[in-house]
Amino acid sequence: MRLLTLLAVLLAACLLSFPARAASTDTAAINITVNDTYYVALTAGADWTYTIVEADFLNGYAVSGSLVDVMDIAGNAAYEITAQMSAATWDAGVTLQIDVEAAGWTSLNDSTATVITGLASEVAGNQDDLDLEWRLNGITWANTDSSDDWTCTVTLTCQADT
Amino acid sequence: MGEGRRENSRARAASVHAPAVRRLRDYRRSAPRYMLAGSIVLALLAVTPAPAQAQFDVTVHGDVSLTATETSFLNGYHDSYNNTITYSASGLWVIYVCSLDADLGQSDDGFYTKPLSDLEWKRSSQSSWNAMTTSDALVRGGPAGASSFDMDYRFLLSWSQDSAGAYGATIQYTITAL
C-alpha cells in the first residue's frame, strides 16, 4: 500500500516536472520565374585562322565557317547578334563579311556595329549551334602581298529580340 | 427445538456471507489509505507551482520571389541573400528546415519538372550550400534566448534543362526544444 502511494506521488511529480516538448513552425514560399522568349547567350567558337590558298585568289575571296552556340530558354526565341570588328590592318580592298544561318552576307567594318537578326529554332531549353561563315573579300593578285598576316577581332553580342 | 434451528440458520448465514463481510471490512480499513494517497497527490498538484510552459517560436521571412536573368543562366544560379529568421526559446533549441513540396513545379509547357535539389540553402554566415529536401535538416541550435539569423537561397539554373515556367516550393522552419 505504501508502495502504491509512493508510486502515485512519484508519477505526479514526474508529470509536473517534465512538460510536453514545445515546437513552433513557420513557412515561406521561395519562387523563381523563368520568363519566356527572353534569355539568350552566345558562345563563340575558337579563333578562326585561315591560310589563303591559290583558289581564293582565283575566286577573289576566302570563306571559312565556324559555329556559335546560341542558348535560348524558350523555343524559337528571336535573337539579335551584333558584330563589330576591331581596327584591322587589311590591305587595300580587303573586306570582311559575316553570314549567319545563310541569311546573307553582311559587311563588317571597324566603325559600325553590324546587326544580324535570326531565329533560334530550337526546342525550349536547348542550345542552338548557329552556322557562322566568314568571307574575306578582295583577295586579288594585285593587292595582296606574296606573304602577309592579317588579323582582326570580331566582337559578337547576342541578345533576345524581346 | 425452534431456537436451535434459528441458531443453525444464523450460523449458516454467517458462514455464507463471511467473504463479503471480510471484503467490506478490508475496504473500510484500506479506504482511508487510498484516500490518503489520493489526497497527497492532489495536495501536491495543488501546492506545487506548475513550471512555466516552455516557449519556442520561430518566424520566417516573407515569401521570396526571384526572376531569372541571362546572367543567372550564364552563372548557373540565381541567389537570394540575407533572408531573416527570428526565434525565441525558453530553453535549448534547434531549428530545422525542409520543403513541403516534393519538387519545384513544372515548366509552362508541362514537359519539364524542376527537381527540388535545384533549390539550395545555407546560413548566410556559411559558405557551403545544402540541397533542399523534404526531410528536416538541421539549420542551427543554441541556448535560450531571442535573436535572429539570415538565410541564403540558391536556384540552380541550366540552359540545357530549364525552360520557361514559374518554379518554387514552400519551405518550413521548425524550432523545437533540444
User: Is position A18 within any domain?
Assistant: no
Contact (CB<8Å) B73/A39: yes
Q: Which of A4, A22, A125 sits opposite B56 (nearest CB)?
A: A22
Q: Mean of the pLDDT values across residues A10-27?
A: 62
How remote is the C-alpha of A128 from its chain's centroid? 9
* Chain B residues close to A158, C-beta within 8 Å: none
Best CATH choice for the domain B56-177 from the list 2.60.40, 3.40.50, 1.10.3470, 1.20.140 = 2.60.40
User: Is position A7 within any domain?
Assistant: no
Contact (CB<8Å) A34/B33: no
pLDDT on residue B19: 57
**Which residues span the domain enclosing A111?**
44-160
User: Is position A121 within any domain?
Assistant: yes
User: Is position A75 within any domain?
Assistant: yes
Q: Which of B70, B74, B172 sits opposite A25 (nearest CB)?
A: B172
Asked if A43 and A158 touch (Cβ cutoff 8 Å), the reply is no
**Which chain B residue has the Cα nearest residue A41?**
B70
Smallest Cα distance from A1 to chain B, Å = 8
User: Is position A8 within any domain?
Assistant: no
pLDDT on residue B47: 46
For an interface test with A, the pick among B72, B73, B113 (most A C-beta atoms closer than 10 Å) comes out as B73
* Chain A residues close to B109, C-beta within 8 Å: 124
Quick one: pLDDT band at residue A27, thresholds 50, 70, 90?
very high
CB within 8 Å of chain A, chain B residues 42-61 = 44-45, 48, 50-51, 53-61
Residue type present at position A26: D
Quick one: pLDDT band at residue A150, thresholds 50, 70, 90?
confident
| CA distance linking residue A118 with residue A160, whole number of Å | 10
Asked if B120 and B129 touch (Cβ cutoff 8 Å), the reply is yes
pLDDT on residue B152: 98
CB burial readout A64-77, b (16+ within 10 A) else e: eeeebebbbbbbeb
Q: Could you tell me if B153 lies within 8 Å of chain A, comparing CB atoms?
A: yes
Contact (CB<8Å) B37/A8: yes
Dihedral sign computed on CA atoms, order A59, A64, A70, A76: positive
Smallest Cα distance from A34 to chain B, Å = 5
pLDDT on residue B70: 76
Cα torsion for B129, B132, B137, B143, to the nearest 10°? 60
pLDDT tens, residue by residue, A75-102: 555 667 777 888 777 777 888 888 877 7
**pTM attached to this predicted model:** 0.59
* Chain A residues close to B161, C-beta within 8 Å: 125
Q: Which residue has the higher pLDDT, A26 or B46?
A: A26
The tally of CA atoms less than 13 A away on the side-chain side of residue A86 is: 6
The CA-based angle B38-B42-B48, given to 5 degrees, is 140
Quick one: pLDDT band at residue A18, thresholds 50, 70, 90?
very low
| Residue A140, domain CATH | 2.60.40
User: Is position A19 within any domain?
Assistant: no
Cβ neighbour number for residue A105 with a 10 Å cutoff:
16
* Chain A residues close to B63, C-beta within 8 Å: 28-31
Q: Could you tell me if B64 lies within 8 Å of chain A, comparing CB atoms?
A: yes
Cβ neighbour number for residue B118 with a 10 Å cutoff:
21
Please, what is the average pLDDT of chain A? 71
User: Is position A14 within any domain?
Assistant: no
User: What cell numbers appear for A24 in the block?
Assistant: 513552433
pLDDT tens, residue by residue, A109-120: 777 767 766 554
How do the domains of chain B map onto residue ranges? 1-50, 56-177
Highest average pLDDT, of A7-11, A57-61, A121-125, B143-147, comes from B143-147
Residue ranges for chain B with pLDDT beneath 50? 1-2, 5, 13, 24, 41-50
**Which chain A residue has the Cα nearest residue B155?**
A32
Q: Which of A12, A30, A35 sits opposite B168 (nearest CB)?
A: A30
Among A17, A26, A13, A23, residue whose Cα is nearest residue B91: A23
What Å distances lie between residue B97 and A32, A72, A138, B83, B150, CA to CA? Answer: 19, 34, 67, 13, 13
User: Is position A153 within any domain?
Assistant: yes
